[in-house]
Structure 1
Amino acid sequence: MDADGTTGGTYTLLLTLPQAVDIAVGALGTHRFPGGAYAYTGSALGSGGFARVDRHRRVARGDHDVRHWHVDYLTGHSATELVDVVTSPGVDAECAIARRLPGGPVEGFGASDCGCRSHLAVGEDIETLRATVASVHQN
C-alpha cells in the first residue's frame, strides 16, 4: 500500500520536449514528436501501485534503461524533461482522462490494452496541460 492507504490509482506525467525529435517507440516504430508540452496518462492499479511512477522517474533521470512501456521511450530520451506528476489515488480514470486531453502525435501510444486513440497528449505549454489534467483528476 502507498502512504495514503491506497494501492494505486491513475497518474499523469507532465513532460516537455524543447525541440522536435524522432523516437523509436518499440513495436509502434519511429515517430516524430514535435517540441512542446506532453501529458501521458497511465494506470497504477496493479500490485505495485504508484511504484510505477517511481520507475518512470528513474527512466527519465537515466537511472533505469529498460524500455518496457511506450512511455519509457519518450521519458528515456535525453531531450525529454519530466516536469511533474499528477495522481488520483484509488481512482480508475485512465481512459476518461486521456479522452479529455488534446490529441497526441502517436496513435496507440500507451493504449494497447484499451479502445482509446492514445494516452499521450501534446499541447502548446505545460501550464495549460497541467490545468486540464488537474481539473480532470479532481472529478
Structure 2
Amino acid sequence: MDEGGTYTLLVTLPEATRIGVGALGDHAFPAGAYAYTGSALGSGGFARVDRHRRLARGESDARHWHVDYLIGHPEATLREVVTSPGADAECAVAERLNEGPVPGFGASDCDCPSHLAHETTLEKLHEMVENAHEAARETDDS
C-alpha cells in the first residue's frame, strides 16, 4: 500500500484505564471503542497503518505519535482500519466524530480539539466513522 490518504483506526478497551500519552500526560480512558483519525499522505502512504498494526500486535514498542500510546497499551485491541485513499480529509473526518477523553490527542499540528473519538460500542462508532469518511470524501472531491 503506497497510495496515501486518510485513515481511522478503530480500537477497543474492555475496561476503563489510565494511559500515559507522552507529552499530553496521564489520562483516563473509559471502557469502550475509540476512533483515531490520521493522515498518510507522505512517502510510503498507508505504510503508516502497517506500522500501527505492528505496534498493536506487540512487534514494536516505538512510541512516536499520541495514538501509539493507546494502541500499544496491553488492554487495547486494534479492531479495524477505515481508509479514504487519496483524500486529504483527516480534520474533516475527526470533526464529524465525538470527541474523546484527551484534548489535543493527535491534533498537535492543527486547530481540531482532538482526533480521538469515543463511543460505548464498536458497532456504533464504526457506523459513525464510515459516515464521516464518506462525507469527507464527498467534500474532498468537490
TM range (shorter): over 0.9
What is the aligned partner in structure 1 of residue 139 from structure 2? none
Aligned residues between the structures: 135
What is the aligned partner in structure 2 of residue 105 from structure 1? 101
Q: CA deviation at 1:135?
A: 1.4
SS at match of 1:64: coil
What is the aligned partner in structure 2 of residue 26 from structure 1? 22
1:134 pairs with 105, 116, 130, which one?
130
Deviations 1:84-138 (A, max 9, x none): 0000000011001101101110000000000000000000111111111111212
What is the aligned partner in structure 1 of residue 38 from structure 2? 42
Pairing 1:118–2:114 present: yes
Q: CA deviation at 1:48?
A: 1.6
CA contact (8 A) 2:97 2:132 kept: no
What is the aligned partner in structure 2 of residue 51 from structure 1? 47
What is the aligned partner in structure 1 of residue 6 from structure 2? 10
Note the 1:86-97 alignment, pairs <5 A.
86-97=82-93
**TM-score between both structures, scaled by the size of structure 2:** 0.93
**TM-score between both structures, scaled by the size of structure 1:** 0.95
What is the aligned partner in structure 2 of residue 63 from structure 1? 59
SS at match of 1:10: strand
Separation in structure 2 between the aligned mates of residue 113 and residue 67 of structure 1, nearest angstrom:
17
Separation in structure 1 between the aligned mates of residue 59 and residue 92 of structure 2, nearest angstrom:
31
Q: Percent identity?
A: 69
Separation in structure 1 between the aligned mates of residue 44 and residue 102 of structure 2, nearest angstrom:
27
Q: CA deviation at 1:83?
A: 0.4
Separation in structure 1 between the aligned mates of residue 126 and residue 44 of structure 2, nearest angstrom:
25
SS at match of 2:38: strand
Pairing 1:80–2:102 present: no
